[in-house]
Structure 1
Amino acid sequence: MGPRTGAGRSVCRGPAGSRARHDDRARCDGDRLLRRGEGLHEEGGLRLGARTAARTDTGRVRENNEDRYLVREERTSTLLAVADGVGGEAGGEMASAAAVDALAASFFSAGSRQLAPAEALAAAIRGANDAVLGAAGKSGQQGAASTLVAAAIAGSSAVIGNLGDSRAYLLRDGDIRLVTADHAGEFQSSITRFVGDPRGVQPDVFVETLRPGDRILLCSDGLTRHVPDEDIASTVRRASLDRAATALVDLAKSRGGEDNITVVLYAARRTFRLADLRRNIVNLVLALLVVTVLVGTIAALVFASGAYPTAR
C-alpha cells in the first residue's frame, strides 16, 4: 500500500457510552480525530435501465476508493445508498462496505415489511451502525466509521435518511433542492454523526412525494466540495441519467478531484393514466381524419384539373 495523499477526514466522538449528540457544529477533539485511510474499490459505474445510474471514482489525489454505493430493487421498492468511509488504512473501506451491505439486508428483511417505510429505513440505518461496529471489532479496525445517505422509493413516495455529510438532492423542473442537512463539525472534513458510533445513532429522515420526471441524486462530498448546486442541476438537466452520472464525476475531477467521488441518480417513473390514454387516442383519430380529408381534397383537385391521367 502506497503512502497516503490528500486531506484527512475525521469524525467527532464523545466519551464512551455517552448518547449521540445532535449539535451539527460540535467541536472535534484533535486527539480523537480519525483520519481517512485507503481502501479497495473497483472503479466504474452501474446502469439499470433508464431509471437508475451510478458511478464512483477514486479522484485525482487519493490512491484508493473508500466510497461505496448501493442500487437494489426488490418487491415494489428501490433502495439507493452512498457511504463514504472514514477510519485509516483499510478501516474506511471496511466501514462503508459493511454499512451498505447491512442496510440492504435489514431494509429488505421480513421484519421490515411490518414497518412503515420511514421506520424501516431508520431501523436499517441503525442496523448499519451495529454492523460497522461489529466488523471493526472483528477486524481490529477500531474507530472505523462511514457516512451514510439512503433513499427508499416505492411508487411516488421517497423516504430519505442520512448520517454525515453525504447528501441527497431532489431535482424538479430544472431546479435543485438539498433534502438532507450535513452533520458537519467545526473543522473541515469532520462529521458529527456517522455509522460506527458506539453511542448509537439517530438518523435524520425525510419523506418526499415524487412527481413524474423528478430525479433524486445521492452523492459523497467528493462531488459537492468541487461542484456547486447550480452546476449539478444544469448537468443533470441536459443529459440522460447515465451521461449525467459520468459528467458529474468528470466535472469534480476537472476541478481538483481531491476526494473519492460517488453519485447515484434515480428518475421517477413517468405515469400514464387512463385519461391520458383516452385523450391520446382521440387526438390520434382526429389527426387521421384531418389527414384523410386533406388527401381526399388534394386528389379531387388534381382530378378536376385534368392533371390526373385517364385511360383512353
Structure 2
Amino acid sequence: MDPDAPIGGVRSRRGLPPRQQQDVIDAEMRASRRGVLAEFHRRLRADPETLVAPEFLALADRHIVRTAIVVAAGRLADACTLHVFDPKTTALRTVRHSGVPLRLRDRLTAFLTAAGVGPDMTDPVVLERVAPATDLGFAAVHAYLLRDERGDPLGVLSLQYRTPGPHPGQDRLAGFAAEAMAGVPAAPTLPRRARTADPTPPGVSVTRTTDGMAVLLGGALDAVTAPGCRQLLRRTVAALAPRQSLVIDLRELDFLAAAGARVLIDAVRRCEDGAVDCYLLAGPGHIARTVLDRLDPRPPLSFVEDEARLPTAARLPTAARR
C-alpha cells in the first residue's frame, strides 16, 4: 500500500451529489444491521435472553434491538407489533411488526389504544375473543408496557395469537425486551439550551502533527463512548484544510462495537469529502480490523500497519507516540 495514499477505495464517492452520498452511507448502515441480525438470528429465536447478552448489545443499536425483539417474539406468538410513544401526543406509533398484514396494522393500533394500552398502564392488557381483534384473525392480544429501570415508558410490545389461553414465556420476553431497549442509546431529546459541549471522551487524545492532526483512541469504542468520539472526530476533520492529514491511532483500542465502527467509517467518509488524507493506524490482527471485516463496509477500509509507513509530515510527535 502506498503510505502517501488516503484510506483505500473511499475516493470512489467523490463527485456524487450529497443525496447520493447519503444513500450510500444509509445502504452501508442497513447492511451492517443485517449482518448483526443474521449472526444472532438463531439465538434470538431459541432464547429471548439473547436480547440482553453483552455480545449482542455491544454490536446493537436502537434499530437492531427493535428488529431483534420482533424476531425473538416469533418463537412465542403468531404475530407481533412493537410500538413507541409519540413524544408530543403519547400516541402509539408502530416501529416494527411481524405477522400483521400492512393493511390491518393501523386498525390494530387503534384497537390497542381504545383498549387502554398506553404509557399509564400498570399491568399487561389481555384481550381474548374481542372484536375487532377477531376480525383481524386473532383470538387473543396481549400487550405489555416496556419500561426502563427508572419506570419511564419505552414502548409497548403487543403479541397476537390465533388461540386464546395462557402463553408461557411472555413475561420473560417482555422483561428482556425492555432491558434491551433501555440498554442502547435513544435519539437525543434534550432541548438545545440544555446541551453542553461534549468533553473529550475518556481514553481519547488529540495532538498536532506537522501536516494536520492525530486522534489517539484507547479503551473501548462502543455505544457509550461513540457519540462523544463522533463529535470530536467531526470537529477535528472540519478544522483541517484540503490535503492536510488526519491519523486515527487505534493501537490501544481494545474493544470496538458496531456503533464505534460506524464512527470510524463516518470519519473516513468526511475526510474523503473534504479532501483530507486519512490514515487508520493499527497492526495486523487488530480488533478494529476484525469488527470492520464483520460489518463489511463498502468500499472496504484500509489500514496503515505501523507508524513508519505514514508520510513523514503525518507522523505523531515523539511525546505522543505509544
After TM superposition, the score normalised by the length of structure 1 is: 0.25
Larger relative CO (CA 8 A, sep 6+): 1 or 2? Answer: 1
Larger % of helix: which? 2
After TM superposition, the score normalised by the length of structure 2 is: 0.24
Higher Rg of the two aligned structures: 1
